[in-house]
Amino acid sequence: MKDITFFYDPISPYAHLAFERLPEALMGHSVMVRYKPVLFAALLKANGQLGPAEIAAKRDWTYRHVSWLAHHHGVVLDLPAAHPFNPLPLLRLGLATATDDAPGETNRYATELLFRHVWRGGLDATDPERLAQLQALLQDHMAQREQPWLAPDSEAVKQRLRANTDEALALGLFGVPAMVLDGRVFWGHDALPMLRAQLEGDAWFDTQWDASAQRPEGVRRPQA
Protein backbone atom coordinates (compact mmCIF):
# COMPACT_ATOMS: atom_id res chain seq x y z
CA MET A 1 0.00 0.00 0.00
CA LYS A 2 1.24 3.46 -0.95
CA ASP A 3 1.04 6.50 1.34
CA ILE A 4 0.00 9.90 0.00
CA THR A 5 0.05 13.03 2.14
CA PHE A 6 -2.50 15.62 1.03
CA PHE A 7 -1.58 19.07 2.33
CA TYR A 8 -4.47 21.52 2.19
CA ASP A 9 -6.05 24.72 3.43
CA PRO A 10 -9.85 24.93 3.02
CA ILE A 11 -9.46 28.52 1.81
CA SER A 12 -8.22 27.16 -1.54
CA PRO A 13 -10.83 26.31 -4.19
CA TYR A 14 -8.23 24.24 -6.02
CA ALA A 15 -7.70 22.18 -2.87
CA HIS A 16 -11.46 21.63 -2.68
CA LEU A 17 -11.54 20.47 -6.31
CA ALA A 18 -8.59 18.14 -5.76
CA PHE A 19 -10.16 16.70 -2.62
CA GLU A 20 -13.43 15.96 -4.42
CA ARG A 21 -11.70 14.38 -7.41
CA LEU A 22 -9.00 12.47 -5.53
CA PRO A 23 -10.99 9.20 -5.17
CA GLU A 24 -11.40 9.05 -8.95
CA ALA A 25 -7.69 9.68 -9.48
CA LEU A 26 -6.74 6.90 -7.06
CA MET A 27 -9.33 4.36 -8.21
CA GLY A 28 -7.92 0.87 -8.54
CA HIS A 29 -4.87 1.53 -6.36
CA SER A 30 -4.22 0.55 -2.76
CA VAL A 31 -3.47 3.89 -1.13
CA MET A 32 -3.56 5.44 2.33
CA VAL A 33 -4.22 9.20 2.15
CA ARG A 34 -3.16 11.35 5.08
CA TYR A 35 -4.89 14.75 5.11
CA LYS A 36 -2.83 17.51 6.72
CA PRO A 37 -4.12 21.08 7.14
CA VAL A 38 -1.56 23.85 6.73
CA LEU A 39 -1.72 27.63 6.75
CA PHE A 40 -1.50 28.59 3.08
CA ALA A 41 -0.64 32.20 3.95
CA ALA A 42 2.48 31.01 5.79
CA LEU A 43 3.66 29.12 2.69
CA LEU A 44 3.13 32.25 0.60
CA LYS A 45 5.00 34.43 3.06
CA ALA A 46 7.95 32.05 3.32
CA ASN A 47 8.28 31.99 -0.46
CA GLY A 48 7.76 35.72 -0.98
CA GLN A 49 4.53 35.23 -2.92
CA LEU A 50 1.10 36.80 -3.10
CA GLY A 51 -1.95 34.57 -3.15
CA PRO A 52 -4.08 34.37 -6.33
CA ALA A 53 -6.82 36.39 -4.62
CA GLU A 54 -4.33 39.15 -3.74
CA ILE A 55 -3.67 40.09 -7.39
CA ALA A 56 -6.72 41.84 -8.84
CA ALA A 57 -6.71 40.40 -12.37
CA LYS A 58 -5.61 36.96 -11.17
CA ARG A 59 -8.37 37.03 -8.55
CA ASP A 60 -11.03 37.49 -11.23
CA TRP A 61 -9.50 34.72 -13.33
CA THR A 62 -9.20 32.34 -10.38
CA TYR A 63 -12.90 32.53 -9.53
CA ARG A 64 -13.90 32.10 -13.17
CA HIS A 65 -11.45 29.23 -13.61
CA VAL A 66 -12.49 27.23 -10.54
CA SER A 67 -16.16 27.77 -11.35
CA TRP A 68 -15.56 26.40 -14.83
CA LEU A 69 -13.48 23.48 -13.55
CA ALA A 70 -16.26 22.55 -11.14
CA HIS A 71 -18.79 22.71 -13.98
CA HIS A 72 -16.51 20.68 -16.26
CA HIS A 73 -15.85 17.94 -13.71
CA GLY A 74 -19.30 17.84 -12.14
CA VAL A 75 -18.12 19.04 -8.73
CA VAL A 76 -20.29 21.25 -6.55
CA LEU A 77 -18.47 24.52 -5.91
CA ASP A 78 -20.32 27.59 -4.73
CA LEU A 79 -18.13 30.64 -4.21
CA PRO A 80 -18.41 31.80 -0.58
CA ALA A 81 -19.94 35.14 0.33
CA ALA A 82 -16.48 36.66 0.87
CA HIS A 83 -13.04 35.45 -0.22
CA PRO A 84 -10.28 35.42 0.87
CA PHE A 85 -11.04 35.13 4.57
CA ASN A 86 -9.18 34.12 7.72
CA PRO A 87 -9.05 30.29 7.66
CA LEU A 88 -7.47 29.84 11.11
CA PRO A 89 -10.74 28.93 12.90
CA LEU A 90 -11.41 26.21 10.30
CA LEU A 91 -7.87 24.85 10.40
CA ARG A 92 -7.96 24.65 14.18
CA LEU A 93 -11.40 23.05 14.21
CA GLY A 94 -10.10 20.39 11.87
CA LEU A 95 -7.02 19.68 13.95
CA ALA A 96 -9.12 19.50 17.10
CA THR A 97 -10.31 16.18 15.64
CA ALA A 98 -6.80 14.77 15.21
CA THR A 99 -5.97 11.74 17.33
CA ASP A 100 -2.88 11.01 19.42
CA ASP A 101 -1.58 8.46 16.91
CA ALA A 102 -1.94 10.96 14.04
CA PRO A 103 -1.85 14.39 15.72
CA GLY A 104 -1.42 16.35 12.50
CA GLU A 105 -4.12 14.65 10.44
CA THR A 106 -7.82 15.07 9.77
CA ASN A 107 -9.72 12.04 8.53
CA ARG A 108 -11.62 12.24 5.23
CA TYR A 109 -14.96 12.91 6.92
CA ALA A 110 -13.66 15.86 8.92
CA THR A 111 -11.76 17.18 5.91
CA GLU A 112 -14.91 16.98 3.81
CA LEU A 113 -16.86 18.95 6.42
CA LEU A 114 -14.25 21.71 6.33
CA PHE A 115 -14.26 22.01 2.56
CA ARG A 116 -18.01 21.85 2.20
CA HIS A 117 -18.45 24.45 4.93
CA VAL A 118 -16.61 26.86 2.63
CA TRP A 119 -17.48 25.68 -0.88
CA ARG A 120 -21.13 24.69 -0.67
CA GLY A 121 -24.04 27.07 -0.28
CA GLY A 122 -22.27 30.34 -1.06
CA LEU A 123 -22.34 31.43 2.58
CA ASP A 124 -19.95 33.28 4.89
CA ALA A 125 -17.23 30.84 5.94
CA THR A 126 -16.43 32.87 9.06
CA ASP A 127 -19.98 33.36 10.33
CA PRO A 128 -19.86 32.54 14.09
CA GLU A 129 -23.16 30.68 14.04
CA ARG A 130 -22.05 28.49 11.14
CA LEU A 131 -18.70 27.83 12.80
CA ALA A 132 -20.53 26.77 15.96
CA GLN A 133 -22.66 24.38 13.93
CA LEU A 134 -19.55 22.95 12.28
CA GLN A 135 -17.88 22.50 15.66
CA ALA A 136 -20.94 20.62 16.94
CA LEU A 137 -20.76 18.23 13.96
CA LEU A 138 -17.07 17.61 14.51
CA GLN A 139 -17.50 17.10 18.26
CA ASP A 140 -20.29 14.61 17.61
CA HIS A 141 -18.03 12.81 15.14
CA MET A 142 -15.34 12.49 17.79
CA ALA A 143 -17.83 11.30 20.38
CA GLN A 144 -19.04 8.58 18.02
CA ARG A 145 -15.45 7.45 17.55
CA GLU A 146 -14.90 7.62 21.32
CA GLN A 147 -11.99 9.99 20.77
CA PRO A 148 -11.15 13.02 22.93
CA TRP A 149 -11.91 16.53 21.68
CA LEU A 150 -9.34 19.27 22.17
CA ALA A 151 -10.41 22.90 22.33
CA PRO A 152 -9.63 24.49 18.93
CA ASP A 153 -7.93 27.46 20.58
CA SER A 154 -5.75 25.27 22.81
CA GLU A 155 -1.98 25.45 22.53
CA ALA A 156 -1.88 21.76 21.55
CA VAL A 157 -4.05 22.38 18.48
CA LYS A 158 -2.11 25.51 17.53
CA GLN A 159 1.11 23.52 17.76
CA ARG A 160 -0.33 20.85 15.45
CA LEU A 161 -0.95 23.49 12.80
CA ARG A 162 2.52 25.00 13.23
CA ALA A 163 4.11 21.55 12.95
CA ASN A 164 2.17 20.72 9.77
CA THR A 165 3.10 24.04 8.18
CA ASP A 166 6.76 23.63 9.15
CA GLU A 167 6.72 20.12 7.65
CA ALA A 168 5.25 21.49 4.44
CA LEU A 169 7.94 24.17 4.21
CA ALA A 170 10.67 21.61 4.88
CA LEU A 171 9.35 19.59 1.93
CA GLY A 172 9.58 22.66 -0.29
CA LEU A 173 5.84 23.22 -0.59
CA PHE A 174 4.82 26.63 -1.89
CA GLY A 175 1.07 26.20 -2.30
CA VAL A 176 -1.98 24.01 -1.85
CA PRO A 177 -3.16 21.47 -2.63
CA ALA A 178 0.11 19.57 -2.55
CA MET A 179 0.28 15.80 -2.58
CA VAL A 180 3.44 13.95 -1.59
CA LEU A 181 4.05 10.43 -2.90
CA ASP A 182 7.38 8.59 -2.60
CA GLY A 183 9.08 11.86 -1.68
CA ARG A 184 7.80 13.63 -4.79
CA VAL A 185 5.58 16.70 -4.54
CA PHE A 186 2.59 17.06 -6.87
CA TRP A 187 1.14 20.54 -6.73
CA GLY A 188 -2.33 21.60 -7.72
CA HIS A 189 -5.62 20.11 -8.80
CA ASP A 190 -4.29 19.67 -12.33
CA ALA A 191 -1.48 17.39 -11.05
CA LEU A 192 -3.93 14.56 -10.30
CA PRO A 193 -3.28 12.76 -13.63
CA MET A 194 0.45 13.02 -12.99
CA LEU A 195 -0.01 11.61 -9.48
CA ARG A 196 -1.92 8.66 -10.92
CA ALA A 197 0.80 8.08 -13.51
CA GLN A 198 3.36 7.84 -10.70
CA LEU A 199 1.17 5.25 -8.96
CA GLU A 200 0.95 3.28 -12.19
CA GLY A 201 4.73 3.18 -12.56
CA ASP A 202 5.01 5.40 -15.62
CA ALA A 203 8.61 5.12 -16.83
CA TRP A 204 8.74 8.90 -17.43
CA PHE A 205 9.44 9.39 -13.74
CA ASP A 206 12.59 7.26 -13.93
CA THR A 207 14.31 9.55 -16.43
CA GLN A 208 12.47 12.86 -16.59
CA TRP A 209 11.38 13.78 -13.06
CA ASP A 210 14.85 15.00 -12.08
CA ALA A 211 16.09 15.88 -15.55
CA SER A 212 13.15 18.19 -16.30
CA ALA A 213 13.92 20.38 -13.31
CA GLN A 214 17.66 20.65 -13.89
CA ARG A 215 17.71 23.85 -15.92
CA PRO A 216 20.30 26.61 -15.56
CA GLU A 217 18.96 30.08 -14.83
CA GLY A 218 19.42 32.52 -17.71
CA VAL A 219 18.50 35.56 -15.67
CA ARG A 220 17.11 36.37 -12.25
CA ARG A 221 14.79 39.34 -11.73
CA PRO A 222 15.97 41.66 -8.93
CA GLN A 223 13.82 41.57 -5.82
CA ALA A 224 12.03 44.79 -4.94
Task: Tell whether omega for the bond before 84 is within 30 degrees of 0, i.e. cis.
Answer: yes
Q: Which candidate, 1, 53, 8, 6, places its Cα nearest to that of 176?
A: 8
Look at the chain and report how many structural domains it folds into.
1
> Does 220 fall in a domain?
no
* pLDDT value of position 189: 96
Cα(40)–Cα(176) distance, rounded to whole angstroms? 7
* pLDDT value of position 139: 97
> Does 52 fall in a domain?
yes
> Does 221 fall in a domain?
no
pLDDT < 50 stretches in the chain: none
CATH number for position 17:
3.40.30.10
The pLDDT tens digits of the residues spanning 55-66 come to 999 999 999 999
Bridge partners of residue 36, in order along the sequence:
7
Q: With beta carbons less than 8 A apart as the criterion, state whether 181 and 195 touch.
A: yes
The pLDDT tens digits of the residues spanning 40-90 come to 999 999 999 988 888 999 999 999 999 999 999 999 999 999 999 999 999
> Does 224 fall in a domain?
no
* pLDDT value of position 216: 86
> Does 223 fall in a domain?
no
DSSP state, residue 94 = H
* pLDDT value of position 224: 61
Q: Cα separations (Å) of 147 from 34, 54, 57, 100, 101?
A: 18, 39, 45, 9, 11
Contacts of 191 (CB under 8 A, 6+ apart): 179
Contacts of 222 (CB under 8 A, 6+ apart): none
Q: Which candidate, 209, 188, 195, places its Cα nearest to that of 24?
A: 195
Domain range for 196 is 2-208
> Does 199 fall in a domain?
yes
Q: What is the pTM of this model?
A: 0.96
